[in-house]
Amino acid sequence: METRTDHTELQVTGMHCASCSARLEKALNQLPGVSAVVNIATEKASITFDPQHADIKRLIAAVRVTGFDAHPLRDFAAEKAARAAAYRREQIQFVIAVLLTLPLLGEMLLMFFGIHMMMPGWLQFALATPVQFWIGRRFYTGAWSSLRGGGANMDVLVALGTSAAYLFSCAALLFDLDQPVYFEASATLITLVLLGKLLEARAKGKASSALEALINLQPKTAHVERDGVMQELAVEQMQVNDVFLVRPGESVPVDGSVLEGVSSLDEAMLTGESLPQVKHPGDKVYAATLNQRGLLKCRALAVGSHTQLAAIIRLVEQAQGSKAAIQKLADRISAVFVPAVVVIALLTFFAWWSMGSGFTTALINAVAVLVISCPCALGLATPTALVVSTGRAAQSGILVKDAAALERAHKLSVLVVDKTGTLTEGKPGVTDMIPEAEINQHELLETAAMLAQGSTHPLSRALLDHAKSLQITPAKTVQIDESSGQGLHAKIGGVHYLLGSPAFAISKGVIVDERQVLGLQQQGKTVIAVAQTTSPLTQAGEGPGERATYKQLGLIAFADQLRASSRAAVAQLAAMGIRV
């Protein structure tokens, strides 16, 4: 019988370096029925567990025993607000540390200009003490938590190194020893480490920006029918089978099916296709897709974490939370790095002292070994690069399965590329203009652009862009009637025009050269027909063109335009030995 497993993600606080994440991951994986991956860059623990052996409370308790804290993931907005507040605290602490440290460094900086000043020892003590024990208390609490949990992290190195310099200076000052003080060294080291923490927090914030962009695609509210009344509710309050409205220009709030209405939806964020998809009753709609024209009444089929958008976000989060082989190697090194550095620092101290260099020189060199050996870069470089790269890839429509897949990408020999939106711009452009004998291409484009002014369809925008590039300014239309996803009629100076798909034109009685249309379509192109009336309407009061006799003016073909960089990219891949 297959064992059922649950999955959860915990937000972890208190991790300061790769040895922290490695120690926590080891502790969680030692629990029965638990498989965990801890990511220092995202500060998350992704945990799969057997509910018969573990639950959320036990997992959080295990995290706290290791010296950290954790809580279930909150919504993204709450996490973003918490990160912003933490970043502001980092900034304030750093500014205070700089203000207290600069005077200590002043005498050294003035020496570069030939000015020799010596600040009184008691004043140096007064400036360095708040930096050491107020601003720097985080390193002491972090070191204690780490040691209590059975490990040693970066905080241990910082606390040992700065404390050695600070306490030696205090002893020299208190007992009036004939030795220099090094208060500026301890304060400067703490300030520089805080600067590193500030830059680290900024990098983590940037790493999550791509994920935030995906989450922001979904609207915050929706027009939902409850008890026969249409209400504006938060998307989080929507339930399966809720009936909701999507107005023109709005994004679909959840996955659903159309009950009433016809419209065109831009689904490029899901499919990459440049042309909108026409939706009729019974068709499915997806969260974050954009309603371009008509009013749609829909029924919710999937909400919250069950939508297609949520599935994409989960894939990105899983990829960011996974570990590449090189990252696992870095974690193993970080786990033994701190104890090894402490041993090397002790050996350095005794080596210098035994060579007769004196206690002060031996201590300075030992402190130097401690403070320059913080394994931050070792543990953060790989996960931060992974988070940033997978996030940016998601913004470009590339979903990375996991870190291992990304790491193996350099071994590619064959690359299969989806043309639309990858090699192409993801939007249509005019490729062919085939006018009838009595008009020329300029007149055909001018007429088509004149009709397209009343539409927001991508093909209409492509027509107007093409006309603008040829410096053609279309005349204004008077009356327009658009059939969503099919075409439109327009009345200009008593003459009725038609612009739309070949099928739409044929349905209105236009004789279309179907062989020509088929030939263009076989080239992967989208074709529209342009026609005008040859006789006036025979019955007043009907819609424009309903009873008119139309004559085709010409055909216009569109295709997704090749990106300017595509040829060079394919050539570069070929030069690397990769078949595309």
* Residue 489 contacts residue 547 (beta carbons within 8 Å): no
Secondary structure element (H or E) that encloses residue 10, with its range = strand 6-13
Distance CA 281, CA 279 (A): 7
Position 265: which residue type? L
Distance CA 95, CA 198 (A): 11
Q: What is the dihedral of CA 420, 424, 426, 428, to 10 degrees?
A: -110
Among 173, 174, 167, which Cα is nearest to 119's? 173
Which structure tokens are listed for 427? 């939007």
Which structure tokens are listed for 513? 């050269």
Select which of 176, 255, 402, 418 is catalytic: 418
Distance CA 310, CA 194 (A): 36
Would you tell me how many other CB atoms lie within 10 Å of the CB of residue 9? 19
Position 100: which residue type? L
Going edge to edge, which strands form the sheet with 69-72? Answer: 34-39, 44-49, 6-13, 69-72
The answer to whether 418 is a known catalytic residue is: yes
* Residue 210 contacts residue 395 (beta carbons within 8 Å): yes
Would you tell me how many other CB atoms lie within 10 Å of the CB of residue 152? 22
* Residue 555 contacts residue 432 (beta carbons within 8 Å): yes
Distance CA 562, CA 568 (A): 12
Ramachandran angles phi, psi of 296, nearest 5°: -115, 135
Residues 6+ apart with CB under 8 A from 127: 100, 101, 103, 104, 183, 187
Residues 6+ apart with CB under 8 A from 256: 244, 284, 285, 298, 299, 300, 301, 302
Going edge to edge, which strands form the sheet with 296-302? Answer: 229-234, 221-226, 243-246, 296-302, 255-260, 284-285
Secondary structure element (H or E) that encloses residue 496, with its range = strand 495-500
Distance CA 550, CA 534 (A): 6
Among 335, 237, 253, 334, which Cα is nearest to 287's? 253
One DSSP character per residue, 356-421 reads T--HHHHHHHHHHHHHTT--HHHHHHHHHHHHHHHHHHHHTT-----HHHHHHGGG-SB-----TT
Among 333, 350, 248, which Cα is nearest to 290's? 248
Q: What is the dihedral of CA 80, 82, 85, 87, to 10 degrees?
A: -70
Catalytic annotation, residues: 418
